[in-house]
Amino acid sequence: MDYKKIYQEWLSNPYFDSATKAELESIAADEKEIKERFYTELEFGTAGLRGVIGAGTNRMNIYTVRKTTQGLANYISKVNGQQKGVAIAYDSRRMSPEFADEAALCLCANGIRAYVFESLRPTPELSYAVRKLGCIAGINITASHNPPEYNGYKVYWEDGAQITPPHDTGIMDEVKKVTDFAAVRTMGRREAQEAGLYTVIGKEIDDSYIEELKSQVIHWDSIKAAQKDIKIVYTPLHGTGNIPARRVLREIGFENVYVVPEQELPDGEFPTVSYPNPESPEAFALGLKLAKELDADLVLATDPDADRLGVYVKDQKTGEYHSLTGNMSGCLLAEYEISQRKERDGSLPEDGALIKTIVTTNMADAIAKYYGIRLIEVLTGFKFIGQQILNFETTGKGTYLFGFEESYGCLIGTHARDKDAIVATMALAEAAAYYKTQGKTLWDAMLDLYEKYGYYKDAIKSIELKGIEGLAKIQEILNTLRANTPAQIAGYEVLSVRDYKEDTVRDLKTGAVTGTGLPRSNVLYYDLSGGAWLCVRPSGTEPKVKFYYGVKGTSLEDADEKAASMGEEVLAMIHQML
């Protein structure tokens, strides 16, 4: 059916409410907008749904949420998981509570109990709740760090991780089968509650979750010694982290925690930032201003759903605040957690493992090698780290020590199966206390890492290509690179290329071809001379093609220069294709 006919169907069908029809009538003269909203359906992929809020098949609205949930309910019934129920959480974005309720009531109408948080909660607590309540699945209504016009719908399975094979394809198939919106089931909330199908959750899960986090503390003595001397500035960026982050810091003993007042309260418009992303320097402007006024030791920012943590640390020698990338903070925490666990226990488990994604820094490899533990590399997406934890549990082989990805996400402990910025906030504060008792700051500890393992510098560039034409252009870039492997990239010789879509690793010198050992994915990875690398992949959540890269220098300055040069040359290479 063509997009104009679908548009007219939405306008005429009594199933769609008057507000939806009024919104669609307002774009009647905008052919391009009508096409963007109706040329396709908002795709339910391995990361769930994510899109602009609005009326239409290619938008986030109550109808696309219901339709997706009906597909999920059908899959749950297919695997006989109805009795276990589904946990549902949501963030501070526009329509998040409404979408959460629509999902819950669709599940209830299908005879599946919904456990719905009473108010907004962070993503990692949803992951925790799925396992704590023994649910078959979880739903989180969030678009993470996307701009305000977006919202999303993430699905978790019973292990607490976002869906992976075979459940991801199974659910996607069932969602695709739901072609008639009117066939989607729903019911009233009062009716659902009276039937015992709609359960509100909150405090008990909160308390249990916080206790799980506190059980990960290694050095209570260091916290006690330094708790009065460390000043922490924190911002939840108008999202879900405010209450749990402040609570866990308070309960483990930190007394001087200051929240950025302008960004404290939940607000889906994110009025103080254009892009609520802790990777963005703009997100830290107010936090750094407050930190300088207070002479704070560190500045922490969680993204709206509090699964990612951004960090600035103070260099006491210069008074300067240094930004830690996700790679830097991940390695700092990996070193702290693994080294201190070894010191506390006397040794590390023989089957201990450090897990990272393929686009994460090679410093992680060096850390694993130093401690004699296994380094496991997985595809981009924290769910693949969660999948490894599940494999450890089911086989009895492997002990999870730490896992992280470059996009500011890590997990300490196995209470959740997604990245957890609340536990990372707690652990970084603990590490700051520990290093302070050693006469060091977190910046000093970071410099020690470079001296110990090498001056690794990793970064990312991206090109945004919106709309139908943009998606085609992104695919064209990947196709061009796939068909024409460059001999050099930014002056570095290409040693081998990994094509995860074709499941091949090709050595350019010998011509030998082997498998990647990972699931197929539309990703290209180039191993370069001098310890450098480049990885190209389409974003799974935004209309972007991303270029991850890393270099190794002889000093911080040398690594910075090499990384800056590489970033410029990679973008120049890609722009020639546009």
Helices and strands in the chain, H and E counts = 19, 23
Report the alpha-carbon distance of residue 100 to residue 78 in Å, rounded: 23
Report the alpha-carbon distance of residue 452 to residue 446 in Å, rounded: 10
Annotated catalytic residue 222: no
Take residue 527 and report the two structure tokens written for it: 């191993």
Nearest CA to 65 among 35, 39, 44, 92?
Answer: 44
Three-state SS for 96-133 is HHHHHHHHHHHHHHCCCCEEEECCCCCHHHHHHHHHHC
273 DSSP assignment = -
Q: Which long-range contacts (CB under 8 A, 24 or more apart) does 57-61 make?
A: 57/6, 60/95, 60/99, 60/150, 60/151, 60/152, 60/153, 61/20, 61/95
The secondary structure element, H or E, covering residue 431 is: helix 421-437
For residues 74-104, one letter each, b for 16 or more C-beta atoms within 10 angstroms of the residue's C-beta and e for the rest, the string is bbbeeeebbebbbbbbbbbbbbbbebbbbbb
263 DSSP assignment = G
Report the alpha-carbon distance of residue 388 to residue 358 in Å, rounded: 14
Cis check for the bond before 244: say yes or no (omega within 30 of 0).
Answer: no
Four-point Cα dihedral 345, 351, 352, 355, nearest 10: 180
Four-point Cα dihedral 47, 51, 139, 75, nearest 10: -70
Is 256 exposed, middle or buried, given 0-12, 13-18 or 19+ CB atoms closer than 10 A?
Answer: middle
Active-site position among 92, 96, 127, 144: 144
Three-state SS for 486-543 is CCEECCEEEEEEEECCCCEEEECCCCCEECCCCCCCCCEEEEEHHHCEEEEEECCCCC
Report the alpha-carbon distance of residue 74 to residue 154 in Å, rounded: 17
- Active site positions, annotated: 144
